[in-house]
Amino acid sequence: MTAMDPVNTTTEKQTRTADTSGGSAQGPSAYADASLAGALKDRTPQAADAGGPAGTGQPSGAATAATFMAKLLDFRARYPKGEMALFFCGGFVYDVLSQSRIDDRLTLAQNFLYLLVLAGLLLLEQRYPEGATPPKVLARVWRWREECVHFLFGSLLSVFMLLLFKSTSGVMPYLFVASLFALLVANELPRFRAAGPVIRVVLLSLCVTIYLSCLLPVLIGRMGFWVFLLAVALGCASVYGLMRLVRRWNPDAQFLVRNVAIPGFGVQGALLMLYLIGVIPPLPVNVQFAGLYHDVKRISPQVYQLSSVDDVVWYRPTTWFGPDFLARQGDKPYYFFRIFAPKGFAPYKVRVRWYHDHPDQGWTTTGNGFLTTVSSNGTDGGYRYFATTSTLKPGNWRVVLETEAGHEIHRLSFSVGLDERSATREFVREYSVLKEVAPLSAEEWQKRRKPDEKSGLRQEQAL
């Protein structure tokens, strides 16, 4: 064998020289071999390329999966922004479609699981930084960690944004909701991804406290400053616990302060300040429906009759832009609302204030408003109530529903004009029932109450 090695080496060198010498060195036999290989490939392409049975043209399952993964990886490489938009929209649309009550146990458990997964991923990224080899258990899914983090953050922030959006109607709380939306977008930008754990600690600290501000009122059955303060305290405890765990793999004190302590505790302080100035709306109560009427009557324990005057005529453009409330002598506006609170929630007080845009003094109100106690009836529609005012003047008006502490829950703006006509007015009647959020028309209410009347008549006849 040793004596033959030089011969093999010489032959190999000659072969390499022939392969790299250009097309003229290949000769007719090379072209014949290429033609034969092309013919064979043309005769059995499906069996060789697709991996399926010869001549069937159907790819096998393994080949289909490999093709799909190749296309997916190619899409991720060619369209990174499209991938971000896909995960962003996916998380947001999923939560819009699956939005449930704030006291839904499955939703609360799901959000808690999301927070645990996010905290775990944040710790694993510190344990296995960029370039480190993750354990075999995580090897296959580790490359998807970025997408998982952004999907979960997008899902949580969209849920909280929708809950806060339903719980307020003021300008400042809307700015807070808009800032959450900005965080949703920033969560998908590569620039913020490159910022390291700072942005993720900010998002995690924010999500933990907002989640607790939704959970604690449901568990305790009350809302108020001390409940939100408890949520902030527990949020601070979670940030401290995160610092202790990160310290195991990165004991650098400067790194912990700059990347965990300052962003984490800073978010808690900002949330407390925003709550005190009324930017964060009161959770978990929200108004399901509200409207302005000329008259409201309770005709039965479960039915309210709502009367209004609709003077808008579609073929008369002059009626399209008139006042929202046309008032005659003795008319009063009735603010009817349905307010939701979780089942088992303790009775709480709300206040209704009427504001008039005075030409000289601006927005003014009289007195301290109308304060009443409402309770949770356990239905999706919420507790129904109404308030009115007798100091009605022409101009722009605003009615505001707020908590006893002054946090705004809902507002309704309208304009008032004098009705100088003497013709008899035709009132539009609607009926608010217990299990329907929106009022029913008179025709629909008549259809739904007939079976009840028949059953009541049969019970009377039986007696």
Over residues 118-175, the pLDDT tens digits come to: 998 888 888 777 666 777 777 677 777 777 887 788 788 778 877 877 777 766 656 7
pLDDT at residue 398, rounded to an integer: 93
Q: How far apart are CA 239 and CA 242, in angstroms?
A: 5
Residue 46 in any domain: the answer is no
How many residues in total does the chain contain? Answer: 463
Residue 68 vs residues 73, 74, 75, 145: alpha-carbon distances, Å: 9, 10, 11, 20
Judge if 154 and 202 occupy the same domain: yes
Judge if 229 and 318 occupy the same domain: no
Helix (H) or strand (E) holding 325: strand 325-327
Judge if 193 and 312 occupy the same domain: no
Judge if 97 and 227 occupy the same domain: yes
DSSP per position, 358-424:
ETTTEEEE-TT-EEEEE---SSSS-EEEEEE-S---SEEEEEEEEETTS-EEEEEEEEEEE----SP
Query: What angle (nearest 5°) sits at the alpha carbon of residue 171, between those of residues 290 and 387?
Result: 30
Other Cβ atoms within 10 Å of 95 Cβ, number: 21
Phi, psi (5° rounding) for residue 212?
-65, -35
Q: How far apart are CA 356 and CA 391, in angstroms?
A: 9
Q: What is the pLDDT along the chain (463 residues), one digit of tens a residue?
A: 444 444 344 444 443 433 433 444 344 444 344 443 444 344 444 444 444 454 555 555 666 666 776 776 676 667 665 666 666 666 566 666 666 778 888 889 989 999 999 998 888 888 777 666 777 777 677 777 777 887 788 788 778 877 877 777 766 656 776 776 777 666 666 676 666 688 888 889 999 999 999 999 989 988 889 999 999 999 999 999 999 998 888 888 888 898 899 999 999 999 999 898 888 888 888 888 999 999 999 998 889 999 988 765 454 554 455 678 888 888 899 999 999 888 888 888 999 999 999 888 889 987 778 899 888 866 777 889 999 998 888 999 999 999 888 888 899 999 998 888 788 888 889 999 988 888 999 899 988 875 554 454 344 334 4
425: tokens are 């007015």
Judge if 260 and 321 occupy the same domain: no
Domain boundary among 229, 253, 276: 276
- Provide Rg for the chain, Cα atoms: 34
Judge if 332 and 428 occupy the same domain: yes
Other Cβ atoms within 10 Å of 339 Cβ, number: 23
179: tokens are 């800032």
Judge if 110 and 197 occupy the same domain: yes
Which residue is it, tokens 């209704």? 352
Residue 422 in any domain: the answer is yes
Single-letter residue type at 260: V
Residue 389 in any domain: the answer is yes
Residue 452 in any domain: the answer is no
Judge if 299 and 261 occupy the same domain: no
Judge if 89 and 211 occupy the same domain: yes
160: tokens are 């909280």
Residue 434 in any domain: the answer is yes
Phi, psi (5° rounding) for residue 191?
-60, -40
Residue 250 in any domain: the answer is yes
Interacting residues of 325 by C-beta distance below 8 A, sequence separation 6+: 292, 294, 333, 397, 414, 415, 416, 417
Judge if 165 and 95 occupy the same domain: yes
SS3 159: helix
Residue 22 in any domain: the answer is no
pTM, full prediction: 0.69
Q: Whose CA is closest to 296, among 449, 439, 450?
A: 439
Which residue is it, tokens 């607790």? 212
Single-letter residue type at 209: T
- Which residues are 403's β-sheet partners? 350
Interacting residues of 414 by C-beta distance below 8 A, sequence separation 6+: 292, 324, 325, 333, 396, 397, 398, 399
Structural domain total, the chain: 2
Residue 38 in any domain: the answer is no
Packed helices 262-276 and 225-247: angle between N→C axes, nearest 10 degrees: 180
Interacting residues of 112 by C-beta distance below 8 A, sequence separation 6+: 211
Q: Domain with 376 in it: what CATH number?
A: 2.60.40.1930
Judge if 336 and 261 occupy the same domain: no
Q: How far apart are CA 147 and CA 341, in angstroms?
A: 35
Packed helices 197-220 and 262-276: angle between N→C axes, nearest 10 degrees: 40
Read off the pLDDT of residues 283-328 as tens digits, 9 standing for 90 and up: 888 888 999 999 999 998 889 999 988 765 454 554 455 678 888 8
Q: Which domain covers residue 418, as residue numbers?
A: 286-445
DSSP H stretches of helix in 79-144: 80-97, 105-127, 136-139
Burial class (CB in 10 A: 0-12, 13-18, 19+), 242: buried
Packed helices 145-166 and 197-220: angle between N→C axes, nearest 10 degrees: 40
Judge if 260 and 357 occupy the same domain: no
SS3 74: helix
Distance between terminal CA atoms of the chain?
115
Q: What's the per-residue H, E or C state across 262-323?
A: HHHHHHHHHHHHHHHCCCCCCCCCEEEEEEEECEEEEEECCEEEEEEECCCCCCCHHHCCCC
Say if CB 405 and CB 224 are below 8 A apart.
yes
